Amino acid sequence: MTASTTHVWRLLKWGRILARHGALRGIERDPNTPTPVRRLARIARFGARVPAVPRYADAFQAIGPAAIKLGQTLATRPDLVGEDAAHDLLRLQDQLSPVPYETIEAAMLASFGKPLETLFSRIEPIPVGAASIAQVHRAVTTDGRQVAVKVLRPGVEDDFARAIDTYSWAAAQLEALSPEAMRLRPRLTIETFKRWTLRELNFRREAASASELAEGMTAEPDFVIPAIDWARSTAKVMTIEWIDGIKLSDRPALVAAGYDLPGLANTLVRAFLRQAIADGFFHADMHQGNLFALPGNRIAAIDFGIMGRIDRRARVWLA
């Protein structure tokens, strides 16, 4: 069990970063903030140069991977963090500096338990993406297929465990100190965050979600789910079909390539309704960065770490 002093020390360290970005101003000024919390915020702020406009997203980005994920969760809770903070947290980009390829290569070798040459003929050492939980490398399998290899960041499980432990402790203290905070149920927010994060840290679960979604999407041929390579996937490494396309967030590129934008929108809406209403299993992180336009005016989805389910009764009601 982690000592309270360790939790306080972590909070002070994170609080110092928040203070330098002006992100503690609202806590200090809120009359409902418990006195011990306000005192801790002032200690963290002492001597810091505070900007005129708080930069909440930049602060969470600077703290690290677990804070990035927490910030994305808090962006949906303006009742808990305030409208201004929630709006700014929407800017959070789940991007980090990549782990050196040598470290990633060692992690893959440990996870597969066999030489990588028996699985891949080539792996690009420079990642195509690096986020808080994993980074992705383009590769070619020994049988010549283009794939994306998603590798869990070494040490990320322990980092998240330590951070979530302190988040849970802080939420419990806050509820004990403030009836107003208890009403907002911060402990439940952290528990929900913990549950979803633990799911994202297991790539077998993500791979299973992608496969299940692909089965449901056979009725929507214009909405593509890349195939999982189960022979090259573990709990810490997921290998999936490579997708060549244009991100839906890049409207100028879509227009230049001659895509039918209303048609893409129609495909997206139809696919989501089939997932949510017909099947009750849907991609719950279907933002523009996770969607690609493919030739033939089709759409491909990636990143299946966050999925949702709707039971039959709710689907009947929604329909």
Catalytic residue among 229, 250, 285, 303: 285
Q: Quote the CA–CA distance of 147 and 139 in Å, as a whole number.
A: 5
How many other β-carbons are positioned within 10 Å of the β-carbon of residue 111?
16
Q: What's the rounded Cα separation, in Å, for the pair 124 and 126?
A: 6
User: Is residue 236 within 8 Å of residue 250, measured between CB atoms?
Assistant: no
In angstroms, the Cα distances linking 196 to 16, 52, 148 are 27, 35, 23
The helix-helix angle for 56-63 and 65-74 (nearest 10°) equals 150
What's the CA dihedral at 105, 151, 57, 195 to 10 degrees?
A: -140
Question: What DSSP element (H or E) covers 277?
Answer: none
SS3 35: helix
Residue 285 bears catalytic tag: yes
- Residues with Cβ within 8 Å of residue 51, at least 6 apart in sequence: 21, 22
- The answer to whether the CB of 125 falls within 8 A of the CB of 133 is no
How far is CA 212 from each of CA 92, 170, 238, 290, rounded to the nearest angstrom?
Answer: 29, 37, 15, 18
Alpha carbons 22 and 20: distance in angstroms, whole number: 6
Identify whether the C-beta of residue 202 lies closer than 8 Å to the C-beta of residue 235.
Answer: yes
CB 296: neighbour CB atoms within 10 A? 9
Q: Residue 271: CB partners within 8 Å, gap ≥ 6?
A: 217, 220, 222, 223, 299
Catalytically active residues are 285
